[in-house]
Copies of this chain bind each other. A is one copy, B any other.
């Protein structure tokens, strides 16, 4: 009985030492899909791996984790609450519903930022030689979150192929974020679908922190450690 009590005591101490103990963390992951007709759609190369790695790491660090994910072929980390969506609008609605009682929100999903202005009910027949698809902007989830932000720490991602720092800092300011994790998706080992990532973190205080090229699991841990320091 003494042994059990001692073990319980140390478990409690250990748990309280976890960086995200009892914190509510919301993570979005994966791509979204925007349908042109019942068969065709517009999407991007996001695999969801980075977002799922962050969800797993946050859980391990003691957080209560909600993962809102677009279509991926990944397994949801155990102990994580999951909500599945297809389009950017659906992801927006799901995120907004959960936002108010979160401590940290990390928008890792690479949502489609344009969608076909018209969505056909039947499969479009290909009788035309050319086809102009009119696209319109989808709802900007991060901007909506930035406007609505109260106590939450808000983290965005910037996946770029060029002008990484410029685009990342502009996003940070425009969207009212606390931190941007930027990566050059055209770089070897740092792109969509890869098992590794090389993140550069830009803080709203002007800081810049270059993380090494590591596994996405490790990158997730390093990112969350930085984020935990931004909590009150």
A58 to chain B, nearest CB (A): 26
How many Å lie between the Cα of A126 and that of B162 in the bound state? 14
Residues on the B chain within 8 Å of A38, using CB: 161, 185-186
How many Å lie between the Cα of A125 and that of B113 in the bound state? 10
Pick the residue among B37, B114, B161 that contacts A123 (CB under 8 A): B161
Residues on the B chain within 8 Å of A130, using CB: 117, 134-137
CB-CB contacts of A187-228 with B at 8 A, as 1s and 0s? 000001000000000000000000000000000000000000
How many Å lie between the Cα of A137 and that of B162 in the bound state? 30
Pick the residue among B39, B123, B161 that contacts A39 (CB under 8 A): B161
* Interface check A78, CB cutoff 8 A: no
Nearest 3 A/B pairs, CB to CB: A131-B135, A123-B161, A133-B133
Interface residues of A (CB under 8 A from B): 36-45, 73, 110, 112-114, 117, 122-123, 125-126, 129-137, 159-162, 167, 185-186, 192
- 30 A-B Cβ contacts within 8 A? A36-B42, A38-B161, A38-B185, A39-B44, A39-B45, A39-B161, A40-B42, A40-B43, A40-B112, A41-B44, A41-B45, A42-B42, A73-B73, A114-B126, A114-B131, A117-B130, A122-B161, A123-B159, A123-B160, A123-B185, A125-B167, A126-B137, A129-B137, A130-B134, A130-B135, A130-B137, A132-B132, A132-B133, A133-B133, A133-B135
